[in-house]
């Protein structure tokens, strides 16, 4: 029921995802009399869909704390419960991000060793694709949070982006060791010493985000959110500037006809729908947040991310890494007292 | 003597600026036997240039604290002294930013009412041009710092960008009043109550930077630095993606011939050289930092910013506003006790 054009976009997105993933099946939570007829339009989708009727919904304006306490029969809450109960392998929602995070954290709990979940997404770069976290779940972060984000991001890049040994960078205002806030410098020191086989590359700067200098960029939720939205805004700026350029003269208009196909390829390469689906990492379950304003293609991609994470055993891999991290820290402590 | 291609770029930039500003004259600080022959190549520039010989230079690697204590005869220090002593109306350097800030703060002092200077620059947006501060002078900022940045930015947008009533936005992870860090929310509360005639528009997000939603974006130096560098990196990403697109097929190559002129206009519109020149605001003197890697056209633009600020009485206008801010605060205190 979440997102600007729900439930239509969600259902049409599910149909596209069904075509891509032949083994998929859906539990749909929401107003059954409203959604069932829409699903029935796609007989193959209807065949793999089970409905769970509820009329309660979390709205985009609801405060997370209110949504958590009072919306116990909401479609969002019930869908997350289904992951907790093992009925679903992941939950995908285009609804209220804050509420989704609050409810998911309460219902699913964080994985052992993880203090705070983080939001991540991946995006196109000069080198391919990279991911960044946190994107807004944690406005203020200490060094320990940042280290945990690094470990979560590394597992994410391995399992979802398929990168064998992902490189990690810590976002800062300069690459020199003395630059930045205390939290960032302390996190760098811990990551340099860690016993985990993490490819920590040290500090990176804002321009390393689009350059794709590293596979995983670690930062606090305030900076990450602003950097990601700045990048999104720059894409809009360039789209608008190019539109102006291509309509600025007769010659440019003729040129556009020759170049249209190449530009379409570029547009596909940077299509925000292709990168739709932000992941809530660190929870004991897979939770994917679709952009509220996306279309069915974008929503299908968010479902795809949920499928990828489930198929590649994201949760068990992240658990293993945090156990190793804990063991490493215990050994360091032992070494320190021996 | 500062910057990657000094002194050639600095001198050629001065020649370009001389053509633009007929009343300009220069004091050049540095290794006279090295720079004088380069200046002599431009007889009109030589006619308006006075040399101050020194062999000591601040290098790009020098720590600000070391540069401040030990480089008392450096070209950077002597150039800043000239502003303090009223010999020059502004100083322009392509050297070490941290050293420039530390020395300028020590020599020129901050203006009354200003705790910390900030770095700003302006950039192209969907609507025209906007500026943002701080861009890296202050990694951590409290609410009072942010309020001071808002006042400085407002005066800058009026005097340098020529905007009659500049609008101000505070960078945050959402526009709702409850979003963000304590510092940001407290600063918003102060700015809403201020007696200054400031057009405070509340919170803005990362995508509002390229959108140009407001004329002045206020943020801490950590976030501002990363947002600006992310935007710069996105420009590089798009330049590279477009280059790929235009050479991807014969048809695209033909189209490029028709569209070349329109793309050149676009390139000029977003040319980083056009926006070269970061300003150190809040000091009792005009200090402009050129990008170290710029060329002579870029350096000339940085000189142009120094000229603009001097001609439009930036320092006296900012002093007036801070006196009004202080008066307003005193009146509020009086009202509170009466």
* Residue A219 CB contacts under 8 Å (≥ 6 apart), including other chains: A132, A133, A134, A146, A149, A170, A171, A227, B226
* Domain with B221 in it: 123-274
Cα three-residue angle A203-A207-A210, rounded to 5 degrees? 110
* pLDDT surpasses 70 at B332: no
Of A173, A258, A261, nearest to B225 by CB-CB distance is: A173
How do residues A9-54 score in pLDDT, each as one tens digit?
999 999 999 999 999 999 999 999 999 999 999 999 999 999 999 9
* pLDDT surpasses 90 at A79: yes
* Residue B176 CB contacts under 8 Å (≥ 6 apart), including other chains: B203
The answer to whether the beta carbons of residues A217 and A169 sit under 8 Å apart is: yes
* pLDDT score of B270: 81
Tokens matching residue B328: 């307003």
Is the same domain home to B75 and B174? no
Is the same domain home to B54 and B134? no
Are A236 and B207 an interchain contact pair (Cβ–Cβ within 8 Å)? yes
Are A245 and B262 an interchain contact pair (Cβ–Cβ within 8 Å)? yes
* pLDDT score of B176: 76
* pLDDT score of A199: 94
Q: What is the mean pLDDT of chain A?
A: 91
Domain end (from B223, B247, B274): B274
Question: Could you give the residue ranges of the DSSP H alpha helices within chain A?
Answer: 8-20, 32-40, 43-47, 64-70, 75-84, 97-108, 143-159, 182-193, 208-211, 221-246, 250-269, 296-311, 314-337
Tokens matching residue A75: 């479609």
* pLDDT score of A333: 60
* pLDDT score of B159: 85
Of B219, B230, B240, nearest to A126 by CB-CB distance is: B240
Which range of A175-179, A269-273, B62-66, B189-193 scores highest in mean pLDDT? It is: B189-193
Are B233 and A209 an interchain contact pair (Cβ–Cβ within 8 Å)? yes
The residue of chain B with its CA nearest to that of A261 is B252
- Whole-model pTM: value is 0.89
The residue of chain A with its CA nearest to that of B269 is A241
Domain end (from A253, A280, A307): A280
* pLDDT score of B330: 66
Q: What is the mean pLDDT of chain B?
A: 91
Are B258 and A236 an interchain contact pair (Cβ–Cβ within 8 Å)? no
The residue of chain A with its CA nearest to that of B124 is A237
Cα three-residue angle A233-A239-A241, rounded to 5 degrees? 100
| Chain B positions in Cβ-Cβ contact with residue A268 (cut-off 8 Å) | none
Are A241 and B205 an interchain contact pair (Cβ–Cβ within 8 Å)? no
To the nearest whole percent, how much of chain A has pLDDT over 70? 97
Is the same domain home to A109 and A133? no
Q: Higher-confidence residue: A222 or A277?
A: A222
* pLDDT surpasses 90 at A275: no
* pLDDT score of B178: 72
Is the same domain home to A136 and A54? no
How do residues A171-227 score in pLDDT, each as one tens digit?
999 877 778 889 999 999 999 988 778 899 999 999 999 999 999 999 999 999 999
Are A258 and B263 an interchain contact pair (Cβ–Cβ within 8 Å)? no
Q: How far apart are CA A94 and CA B174, in angstroms?
A: 17
Is the same domain home to B69 and B159? no
Are A210 and B236 an interchain contact pair (Cβ–Cβ within 8 Å)? yes
Is the same domain home to A47 and A136? no
Are B252 and A246 an interchain contact pair (Cβ–Cβ within 8 Å)? no
Domains: count for chain A: 2
The tokens 């994917």 sit on which residue?
A: A288
Are A262 and B269 an interchain contact pair (Cβ–Cβ within 8 Å)? no
How many Å lie between the alpha carbon of B299 and the closest alpha carbon of chain A? 22
Q: What is the DSSP letter of A61?
A: T
Q: Higher-confidence residue: A271 or B182?
A: B182
* pLDDT surpasses 60 at A338: no
Q: How far apart are CA A95 and CA A289, in angstroms?
A: 8
Region of poorest pLDDT, from A7-11, A270-274, B111-115: A270-274
The answer to whether the beta carbons of residues B273 and B297 sit under 8 Å apart is: yes
DSSP, collapsed to helix, strand or coil, labels residue A281 as strand
Is the same domain home to A304 and A325? yes
| Chain A positions in Cβ-Cβ contact with residue B235 (cut-off 8 Å) | 234, 238
To the nearest whole percent, how much of chain A has pLDDT over 90? 64
Q: How far apart are CA B268 and CA A116, in angstroms?
A: 45
| Chain A positions in Cβ-Cβ contact with residue B205 (cut-off 8 Å) | 225-226, 229
| Chain A positions in Cβ-Cβ contact with residue B263 (cut-off 8 Å) | 245
* pLDDT score of B260: 87
Residue A83: phi and psi, rounded to 5, are: -70, -45
Residue-by-residue DSSP string for B127-169:
SSEEEEE-SSS-SS--HHHHHHHHHHHHHHHHHTS--SS-EEE
Helices A221-246 + B221-246 axis angle, to 10: 40
Domain CATH number, residue A31: 3.40.718.10
How many Å lie between the alpha carbon of B323 and the closest alpha carbon of chain A? 32
Mutate to test the interface with A, among B172, B208, B238 (most CBs of A within 10 A): B238
* pLDDT score of A49: 97
In which element (H, E) is residue B310 found? helix B296-311
Is the same domain home to B164 and B223? yes
How do residues A128-145 score in pLDDT, each as one tens digit?
999 999 998 898 899 999
* pLDDT score of B336: 61
* pLDDT score of A263: 85
Burial call B5-18: b when 16+ CB within 10 Å, e when fewer: ebbebbbbbbbbbb
Closest Cα to residue B27, out of B6, B54, B67, B59? Answer: B54
* pLDDT score of A175: 76
Are A208 and B171 an interchain contact pair (Cβ–Cβ within 8 Å)? no
Number of A/B CB contacts below 8 angstroms equals: 187
| Chain B positions in Cβ-Cβ contact with residue A178 (cut-off 8 Å) | 63
Other Cβ atoms within 10 Å of B203 Cβ, number: 19
Is the same domain home to A145 and A256? yes
Is the same domain home to A273 and A324? no
Q: What are A326-331's contacts with CB under 8 Å, separation 24+?
A: A326/A112, A326/A113, A327/A195, A328/A194, A328/A195, A328/A196, A331/A195
Domain end (from A232, A248, A280): A280
Q: Is the peptide bond between B176 and the residue preceding it cis, with omega within 30 degrees of 0?
A: no
Are A181 and B266 an interchain contact pair (Cβ–Cβ within 8 Å)? no
Are A222 and B266 an interchain contact pair (Cβ–Cβ within 8 Å)? no
Is the same domain home to A270 and A144? yes
How many Å lie between the alpha carbon of A281 and the closest alpha carbon of chain B? 19
Is the same domain home to B43 and B63? yes
The answer to whether the beta carbons of residues B128 and B298 sit under 8 Å apart is: no
How would residue B335 be classed by pLDDT, with cut points 50, 70 and 90? low
Averaged over B255-265, what is the pLDDT?
86
* pLDDT score of B195: 77
How do residues B217-230 score in pLDDT, each as one tens digit?
999 999 999 999 99
How many alpha carbons fall within 13 Å on the CB side of residue B229? 23
* Residue B135 CB contacts under 8 Å (≥ 6 apart), including other chains: B118, B119, B120, B121, B221, B224, B225, B228, B278
Burial of B287 (0-12, 13-18, 19+ CB in 10 A): buried
* pLDDT score of A265: 85
Of B207, B228, B260, nearest to A232 by CB-CB distance is: B207
* pLDDT score of A334: 65
| ipTM at complex level | 0.89
Are A252 and B246 an interchain contact pair (Cβ–Cβ within 8 Å)? no
Integer CA distances (angstroms), B306 to B98, B136, B280, B315, in order: 19, 20, 11, 12
Closest Cα to residue B55, out of B70, B75, B39, B37? Answer: B75
Of B173, B225, B270, nearest to A206 by CB-CB distance is: B225
| Chain A positions in Cβ-Cβ contact with residue B139 (cut-off 8 Å) | 173, 180-181
Region of poorest pLDDT, from A9-18, A82-91, A247-256, B117-126: A247-256
Mutate to test the interface with B, among A206, A213, A249, A271 (most CBs of B within 10 A): A206
Tokens matching residue A225: 């959110």
* pLDDT score of A174: 83
Averaged over A276-286, what is the pLDDT?
93
How would residue A255 be classed by pLDDT, with cut points 50, 70 and 90? confident
Residue-by-residue DSSP string for A140-192:
S--HHHHHHHHHHHHHHHHHTS--SS-EEEEE-S-SSTT-S-HHHHHHHHHHH
To the nearest whole percent, how much of chain B has pLDDT over 90? 64
DSSP, collapsed to helix, strand or coil, labels residue B117 as coil
Averaged over B311-322, what is the pLDDT?
88
Tokens matching residue A311: 């198929």
């Amino acid at each position: 029921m979440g997102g600007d054009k729900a439930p239509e976009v969600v259902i049409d997105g599910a149909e596209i995802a069904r075509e891509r993933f032949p083994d998929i099946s859906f539990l749909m939570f929401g107003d059954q009399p409203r959604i069932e007829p829409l699903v029935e339009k796609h007989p193959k989708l209807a065949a793999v869909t089970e409905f769970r009727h509820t009329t309660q919904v979390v709205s985009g304006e609801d405060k997370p704390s209110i949504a958590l306490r009072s919306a116990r029969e909401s479609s969002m809450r019930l869908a997350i419960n289904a992951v907790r109960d093992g009925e679903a392998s992941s939950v995908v929602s285009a609804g209220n991000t804050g509420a989704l995070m609050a409810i998911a954290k309460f219902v699913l709990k964080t994985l052992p060793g993880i203090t705070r979940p983080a939001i991540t997404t991946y995006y196109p770069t000069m080198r391919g694709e990279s991911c960044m976290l946190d994107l807004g779940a944690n406005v203020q972060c200490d060094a320990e949070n940042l280290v945990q984000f690094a470990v979560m991001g590394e597992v994410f890049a391995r399992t979802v982006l398929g990168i064998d040994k992902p490189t990690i960078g810590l976002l800062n205002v300069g690459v020199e060791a003395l630059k930045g806030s205390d939290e960032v410098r302390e996190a760098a020191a811990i990551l340099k010493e860690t016993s985990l086989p993490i490819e920590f590359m040290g500090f990176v700067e804002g321009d390393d985000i689009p350059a794709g200098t590293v596979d995983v960029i670690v930062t606090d939720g305030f900076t990450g959110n602003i950097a990601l939205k700045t990048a999104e805004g720059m894409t809009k700026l360039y789209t608008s500037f190019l539109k102006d350029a291509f309509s600025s003269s007769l010659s440019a208009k003729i040129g556009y006809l020759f170049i249209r196909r190449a530009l379409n390829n570029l547009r596909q390469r940077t299509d925000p729908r292709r990168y739709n689906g932000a992941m809530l990492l660190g929870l004991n379950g897979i939770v994917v947040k679709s952009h509220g304003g996306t279309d069915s293609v974008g929503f299908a991609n968010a479902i795809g991310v949920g499928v990828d994470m489930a198929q590649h055993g994201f949760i068990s891999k992240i658990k293993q890494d945090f156990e190793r991290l804990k063991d490493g820290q215990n050994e360091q402590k032992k070494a320190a007292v021996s």
